[in-house]
Amino acid sequence: MLLAFDTATPAVTVAVRDDHRVRAERAVVDARRHGELLGPGIGQVLAEAGVSPSDLTKIAVGVGPGPFTGLRVGLVTARAMADALGIPVVGVCTLDVLAADVVCGAPFLVATDARRREVYWATYDEKGLRTDGPHVGRPAELVWSGLAFGAGALQYHDVFKSAHGPHFPSAATLCALVAEGRVTILEPQPLYLRRPDAVEPGARKAVTPA
């Protein structure tokens, strides 16, 4: 019994899957309330599926890249639940999950919002295999004229002329990818891609005028 969730985009998405199919899924889009939404979301999905936490055998979590605060909610939840239940936890690149829902038969780019007028992005070949990324950068500095998917592409449609949905990754897809072994498995470690904003102080400024 696999529980999967992703909090690396404004969507808090949760799903639970048995050996054959997704038993329940739920997604709420609210970029500012990941911490409030994920716990109840997991509770509701498990209840709807008739699954108790002790039935779970594995947890899969989207490891980003994504805005840090929300991303960490998913990762610490996955690690803590796995620790409490004594079960394994695996990570998957969030952009790979989004890419798996893209149907286009040509190379494509997936982008999500990185704030600060940047996007998190990766490119995929016609079979859906990642060819570049994940990276973070300004849309205008990206050399890509092909098809583009995801909320980050749609947000900058002046750059990504052929931008399409899906906007966000789906936990049901994450479940399927992990259960069927169709995705690169990562450690449950966040893909931050940016360093913390912190500047070492320079020489102390005098408080008395010279």
> CB 101 → another protein: shortest distance, Å?
26
Q: Does 193 bind another protein (CB under 8 A)?
A: no
Amino acid at 128: G
Q: Pick from 30, 48, 69, 165: which binds another protein (CB under 8 A)?
A: 69
Phi, psi angle pair for 22, to nearest 5°: -75, 125
In the complex, the smallest distance separating the C-beta of residue 151 from another protein, rounded to whole angstroms, is 22
What is residue 51's three-state secondary structure?
A: coil
**How far is Cα 64 from Cα 129, in angstroms, rounded to an integer?**
17
Applying CB under 8 A, which of residues 24, 29, 31, 76 lies at the interface with another protein? Answer: 76
**Where are the alpha helices (H) located in 12-88, listed in sequence order?**
34-49, 68-85
Q: Which stretch binds another protein (CB under 8 A): 19-27, 40-48, 124-132, 159-167?
A: 40-48
Of 20, 172, 6, nearest to 91 by C-alpha is 6
Closest to another protein by CB, 141 vs 197, is 197
Binding mask 120-149 for another protein (x = CB under 8 A): ------------------------------
Question: In terms of CB distance, is 83 or 132 closer to another protein?
Answer: 83
3-state secondary structure 125-194: CCCCCEEEEEEEECHHHCCCCCEEECHHHHHCCCCCCCEECCCCCCHHHHHHHHHCCCCCCECCCCCCCC
Contact between 28 and another protein by CB under 8 A: the answer reads no
* Tokens of residue 107, six digits: 């190379």
Q: Give the interface segment with another protein, choosing from 9-17, 73-81, 141-149, 164-172 (CB under 8 A).
A: 73-81
**Which residue of 24, 55, 68, 107 would you call a contact of another protein, by CB under 8 A?**
68
- The Cβ of residue 120 has, within 10 Å, a number of other Cβ atoms equal to 29
Return phi, psi of residue 181, to 5°: 65, 35
- Written as six digits, the tokens of 4 are 């999967």
Alpha-carbon span 47 to 41, nearest angstrom:
10
The residue within the footprint of another protein, chosen from 15, 75, 171, 175 (CB under 8 A), is: 75
In the complex, least distance from residue 27 CB atom to another protein, rounded to whole angstroms: 16
Binding residues vs another protein (CB under 8 A): 33, 35-40, 42-43, 52-53, 68-69, 72-73, 75-81, 83-85, 190, 192, 196-201, 204, 206-208
